Amino acid sequence: MELFRTASVRNLSWLRSRGSSLPRKGWICSGCNAQRIVASRRWASSNGSSDSLPNSKPYYLTTPIFYVNAAPHVGHMYTMVLTDVLKRWQTQVRGRKAILATGTDEHGMKVQRAAALEQVPPKAFCDHNASTFRDLAARSQISNDVFIRTTDAEHKQAVEHFWHMLRHSGYIYESKHKGWYCISDECFYPASMVEKRQDPMTGVVHMVSSETGNVVEWTEEKNYHFRMTALRDRLLNFYKENPEWVEPQSRMKEVVDWVENNLEDLSISRPSERLSWGIPVPDDPSQTIYVWVDALINYLTVAGFPNWTPGRELEGGWPADLHVIGKDIVRFHCVYWPALLLAVDLPLPKRVLSHAHWTMGGKKMSKSIGNVVNPFFAIDRWGVDTMRFFLIHDGGIAYDGDYSNASIVDKYKKNLQTGMGNLTSRVTRSKVWNVREAVVAMSTKEALQGFSETGTPDSKTAAALQKLPVEVATYMDNLNPRDALRAISNRLAETNKYIQLAAPWDLGKKLLKEETPEEDKPALAQQLNTTIYLCAETLRICGILLQPFVPDKADHLLGMLGVDESKRTIEYAAFGADNEYGVPTRDPGSGKYDGLFPPLPVED
């Protein structure tokens, strides 16, 4: 037992010391005459790194803010859940303070037109749709600390201040702009990324973005521009020095390629006569700030910008430890955003996780073909923890995931009902043994001497269980919750095989039989306690590690085992780290319908 405990403590020390942040270059504040701008930049440490005060900075991670021009779909839920899992890993398992921000992007041409079609004022339109996204976060059990809206007064103040900083830096100039503009994507495209394409339904030929397939229109207008090309070398140097800044690597390469071959100065305002729904350019109400400049600054707004108190700037969380975004908005977050921050000498976010999209039957989800999944309906049908499990288990990072009800049923039956649920019922409901007695019996060094042997089912199970927390932590720190969840599920499946092979119910029956020789009973009791203890430890450790993924079910499982709430962090996710559990605080139930994962009512 001491061998396993010593190794477990060593591994947990490694887990606690291991961070998910990449080293990055510091930033140096340039001189500035405006007092407020100086105050907003004063928080750089002496060596230029905001990492020099780690204890004062919470782990800050964000979802993108979602457009309110249409109702949320399952892709929005996936982004929220993916970010929430990574946040809960920091708080529930690592015990670290963290801030999760989500919210809605409420300005721009798309929203203005959508409101006009509904014949309602833009703000009323935004209020209604923003509440739907807020409801989705709540229904999905997202542990967000902030829900920001770009119509918030605090955000408007932050955007105006940032604009003043940009202007003061010399990176803004006024010019006439000609180019292909896409309202759906809210951006201009260079001629090299525009092509003619015929609509297969109507036969009408449109000019479209070759990247997204959305219609573009030729626009000529006078507006403000951002000298992004002047930052090409600084961007490329940053990418070179931080090669893992964007995950996955395939998208990091796309970002570098874009900057090397397609970078242009960015039009950062629109004539207010064409776009009135947005934040006016300070001192020039004839122009409205470009929606993406407006939207990206929300991450600073959440962190308290520009009202940072000197010496306490890190308390709001900036720089963000992680932006979680969809692959369709990589350029905005990984080219435009760092360029804007570099221009005003603010530190860049530490990492960006760009996930793939969801398809259905191998086809991209689209309203026009009617295969968009309503997340509220899905939660009502399958349950929130089932949906969270499925989205992480099957969701894609580098490649798209395919959504189907059949896949949800398969994961429920195989991984949840048969895997976690069946093992829990077997261990906690038996009348032949008692979990608490097994935990007490196996708390001595002598009781576990058999684990030092090699090649036995017991020792293999114990060794695999000891390695699991390190394996899961490595995946999580590498922003790979999908493989972390699969590792936990595989361990539960293997332990189900182990208990089937060990057959503790047969051992229990032999102990109760009068004809069993008395001299054989100590060995039978030892093996029975060993088996139950290994299975209970598997459930306890997996329950702790599953808290970010399926919070309700993990809490239910740990309650059925009687694991104290103070012993559900990473320190206790080690073999033999808790010898005080075993008395349930939640009823284990007795039938298939009151178990951890009861049969699904509908399985089509």
Domain ranges across the chain:
21-350, 384-589
Which pLDDT score, from 0 to 100, does residue 361 have? Answer: 86
For the record, the structure tokens of 350 come out as 């530490």
Tokens standing for residue 339:
């360029």
* pLDDT < 70: residue spans in the chain: 1-55, 177-178, 183-187, 201, 203, 220, 367-369, 445, 447-450, 452-453, 602-604
Structural Rg of the chain based on CA atoms = 28
The pLDDT of residue 49: 37
> Over the stretch 340-355, which tens digit does the pLDDT of each residue have?
999 999 999 999 999 9
Q: Which helix (H) or strand (E) holds 360?
A: strand 358-360
Q: Pseudo-torsion of CA 149, 152, 154, 159, nearest 10°?
A: 70
State pLDDT tens for residues 263-280.
Answer: 999 999 999 998 999 999
* 367 contacts: CB under 8 Å, gap ≥ 6: 70
The answer to whether the beta carbons of residues 70 and 200 sit under 8 Å apart is no
Instruction: State how beta strands 322-326 and 59-67 pair.
Output: parallel
CATH of 21-350, one of 3.40.50.620, 3.40.50.880, 3.40.50.150, 3.40.640.10: 3.40.50.620
d(CA 488, CA 9): 20
Comparing CA positions, the residue from 471, 472, 447 lying closest to residue 528 is 447
- Which parts of 140-283 fold into alpha helices (H)? 153-169, 232-241, 249-261
Q: Residue 531 is inside which H or E element, if any?
A: helix 521-546
> What does the alpha-carbon distance between residue 44 and residue 53 come to, in Å, rounded to a whole number?
10
- DSSP letters for 479-503: T-HHHHHHHHHHHHHHHHHHHHHH-
Locate all alpha helices (DSSP H) within 188-336, ordered by sequence. 232-241, 249-261, 291-296, 298-302, 330-331
In angstroms, the CA 544 to CA 521 distance is 34
* Cα 20 to chain centroid, rounded: 13
Cα–Cα distance, 164 to 179 (Å, whole number): 26
- What pTM value is reported for the model? 0.86
The whole-number pLDDT of residue 315 equals 92
* Cα–Cα distance, 252 to 248 (Å, whole number): 7
384-589 — its CATH code? Answer: 1.10.730.10
